């Protein structure tokens, strides 16, 4: 994949995985547009990436998605990175939280992709990059909606890749392991840093790896393929 002369819009770009991926594109000389809900966080991120643009938007809002498409018609790479995770049992989860988690993690990437495809298709080299999760392969017990939404995004990424294979738009998927971010604070061990993820992503992106299993997600993939009960046990350590 061509790695320069792009305009890259990254949702959830103010911190964590999004900011780390933005740094790779910025370092390669691309125009970077960071999207997030916090103006303060976006301003701090832009100081780290001189020349980067930012836009306050909630990707779960149809009006905000339409505004992004209208403001940035020049975009050649869309990175669907924004995500949230609630860790409640379904019986205790609120309907509002369930709907928001599905909207942010799955519906927003789908609808943003749909909205940007007409513009992306006008460029000789364009891409949609969906950040899903290793948990799309094997779910964990206390994050049912998060895992289901990422599994849906995993399936969507594959089928969208097939649908667009005759166009100039390439569809990449990044499947991270547990990453040290604000969302995972206080949970899990053996996390990788956003910078480590971004390094591995960048190598995959340069070499046209359309489906990128990052770090321990590669191990989980093979365990699930060869011994699915063991994979489930790993994600349900108390059982």
pLDDT digits (tens, 9 = 90+) for 22-79: 999 999 999 999 999 999 999 999 999 999 999 999 999 999 999 999 999 999 999 9
Q: How far is CA 27 from CA 8, 20, 112, 123, 180, in A?
A: 12, 11, 25, 22, 22
Report pLDDT for 22: 98
- What CA–CA distance (Å, rounded) separates 187 from 85? 12
Q: Is 115 exposed, middle or buried (0-12, 13-18, 19+ CB in 10 A)?
A: middle
Q: Catalytic site residues?
A: 146
Question: What's the Cα-to-Cα distance from 74 to each of 3, 27, 192, 228, rounded to whole Å?
Answer: 16, 19, 33, 44
Domains of the chain with CATH codes: 7-235 (3.40.50.720)
**Percent of the chain having pLDDT more than 90?**
88
For the cut 80, the answer to whether the pLDDT of residue 181 exceeds it is no
- The answer on pLDDT for 10 being more than 70 is yes
Q: Residue 224's pLDDT is what? A: 94
Tens of pLDDT, residue by residue over 145-163, are: 999 999 999 999 999 999 9
The string of pLDDT tens digits covering residues 93-137 is: 999 999 999 999 999 999 999 999 999 999 999 999 999 999 999
Confidence of residue 184 (pLDDT cuts 50, 70, 90): low
Nearest Cα to 16, choosing from 179, 175, 136? 179
pLDDT at 239 over 70: no
Instruction: Quote the pLDDT of residue 186.
Output: 60
Question: How confident is the model over 81-101, as a mean pLDDT?
Answer: 93
pLDDT tens digits for range 193-228: 999 999 999 999 999 999 999 999 999 999 999 999
Q: How many CA atoms lie within 13 A of 78 on its CB side?
A: 29
- Tell me the whole-structure pTM to 2 decimals: 0.94
Mean pLDDT of the chain: 94
């Amino acid at each position: 994949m061509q790695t320069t002369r792009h305009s890259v819009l990254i949702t959830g770009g103010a911190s964590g995985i999004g900011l780390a991926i933005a740094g790779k594109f910025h370092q390669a000389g691309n125009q970077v547009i960071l999207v997030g809900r916090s103006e303060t966080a976006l301003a701090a991120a832009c100081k780290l990436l001189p020349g980067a643009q930012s836009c306050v938007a909630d990707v779960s809002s149809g009006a905000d998605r339409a505004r992004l498409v209208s403001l940035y018609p020049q975009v050649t790479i869309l990175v669907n990175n924004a995500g949230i995770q609630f860790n409640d049992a379904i019986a205790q989860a609120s309907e509002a939280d369930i709907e928001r988690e599905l909207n942010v993690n799955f519906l927003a990437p789908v609808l943003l992709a749909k909205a940007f495809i007409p513009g992306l298709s006008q460029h000789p080299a364009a891409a949609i990059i969906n950040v899903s999760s290793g948990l799309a392969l094997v779910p964990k017990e206390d994050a049912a909606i998060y895992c289901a939404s990422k599994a849906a995004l995993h399936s969507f990424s594959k089928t969208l890749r097939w649908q667009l294979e005759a166009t100039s738009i390439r569809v990449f998927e990044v499947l991270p392991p547990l990453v040290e971010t604000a969302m995972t604070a206080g949970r899990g061990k053996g996390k990788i840093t956003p910078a480590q993820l971004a390094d591995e992503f960048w190598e995959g992106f340069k070499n046209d790896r359309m489906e990128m299993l990052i770090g321990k997600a590669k191990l989980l993939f093979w365990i699930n393929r060869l011994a699915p009960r063991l994979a489930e046990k790993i994600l349900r350590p108390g059982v």
